[in-house]
Amino acid sequence: MTITYLKRGISDDVRADDDAKTAEIVAATLRDIETRGDTAVRELANKFDGFDRESYRLSEAEIEAIVAQVSPEDMADIKFAQDQVRAFAQVQRDSMLDVEVETMPGVILGHKNIPVQSVGCYVPGGKFPMVASAHMSVATASVAGVPRIIACTPPFNGVPNPAVIAAMHMGGAHEIYVLGGIQAVGAMAIGTETIDPVHLLVGPGNAFVAEAKRQLFGRVGIDLFAGPTETMVIADDTVDAEMCATDLLGQAEHGYNSPAVLLTNSRKLAEDTLREIDRLLEILPTADTASVSWRDYGEVILCDTYDEMLAVADDIASEHVQVMTDRDDWFLEHMTCYGALFLGPRTNVANGDKVIGTNHTLPTKKAGRYTGGLWVGKFLKTHSYQKVTTDEAAAQIGAYGSRLCMLEGFAGHAEQCNLRVRRYGGVNVPYAEAARLPSENA
């Protein structure tokens, strides 16, 4: 296998140091929120967002006034995007069926899909107002039937962003708070004097938000580890450098630490893309951000074969994978580790981010090895149940259960089974011994 790096990002050791520093800050902040509640949240909101209120929850009147600031065209666009997300989420929900089956005469087993009872949705918005994140979390939770949906977003330029608030409200949020960062996810998960804690946290965010979710996992559920945006372009000579460079920088502009990787088997395309990125950074309005991400986290990897490209892509397990080759469906069939695939030059990651209907909250930092992205199923819990409807089944299952419990040394467990064998099977099983039915002794 011959793999050549024409450009590398900063080392894994440097990234690990950054992660460790972030973890320390987050841990101290969460402890402060747990100890001082609303007071700590208010201080943090003032410190990081410059936003001070007695209550950070928006009233219905405030929501109505803020939403009224959104232009009719923008409202129509938001509705169109949310309709796409809802429609796909509903298809996914319809695929999740409750089941019940009689596995043997008198034994009924089943499962039910039950909505999580309260969800906290984080919608980023400090640097860019992430309107689409409201669709992906709030609207999807609504499709799942979650009875309490609360949403937090930071102020944008010192005030609640009207489009974000409109998307949250349209999506079905029951409570909306103008809070960002660690203080938002901490307040939703831990609870304060004025905010009841939720059962599940969802939504993307910066490194501090992602780390806060990681540390809070266990106290509450989380959707997945969704940190700073990552993108990978897998391309061959069927596309040109402009396409590759545009798709890389389009995601690098998210923040200063957004990895962007070109994976190709064409040296010419790789070298042309490097030059094209330099050209675009001269004219891109968000170049101040994108250029830092590209400098520190951008990579160009040259492989000899498509099989090598596949192996490298699965090892990196990028959040977004744009595939533009002469065999896009081959990658769809064979790739196993990623957040979402964007197949062919006619689509792109921005479509998925904003409008096409698939969810944009996706796994980062190699989490695509063990989980997919946020979807309606994340808001549902699958709970099993059982019932035994005949005396014969109670005795038969009980006898098997008794012997298997005694095999493991669990006499108390065995007695749960033995009691049913005695009552429903009419067999006098000695206390704390393995049960046998007369038919089994024959």
pLDDT in tens, 152-181: 999 999 999 999 999 999 999 999 999 999
Distance CA 179, CA 197 (A): 15
pLDDT in tens, 118-152: 999 999 987 889 999 999 999 999 999 999 999 99
Is residue 85 within 8 Å of 140, Cβ to Cβ?
yes
pLDDT at 182 over 80: yes
Domains recognised in the chain with CATH numbers: 16-223 (3.40.50.1980), 228-373 (3.40.50.1980), 390-441 (no CATH)
**pLDDT band for position 428 (cuts 50, 70, 90):** very high
Q: pTM to 2 decimals?
A: 0.91
Q: What is the pLDDT of residue 40?
A: 97
* Closest C-alpha among 296, 232, 240 to residue 261: 232
Residues with catalytic annotation?
319-320
Binding-site entries: 122, 183, 206, 229, 251, 254, 320, 353, 408, 413
Distance CA 381, CA 379 (A): 7
DSSP 346: T
**pLDDT band for position 442 (cuts 50, 70, 90):** low
Binding-site entries for substrate: 229, 251, 254, 320, 353, 408, 413
Distance CA 53, CA 274 (A): 47
pLDDT at 2 over 90: no
pLDDT in tens, 327-378: 999 999 999 999 999 999 999 999 999 999 999 999 999 999 999 999 999 9
Q: Find residue 232's DSSP bridge partners.
A: 261, 321
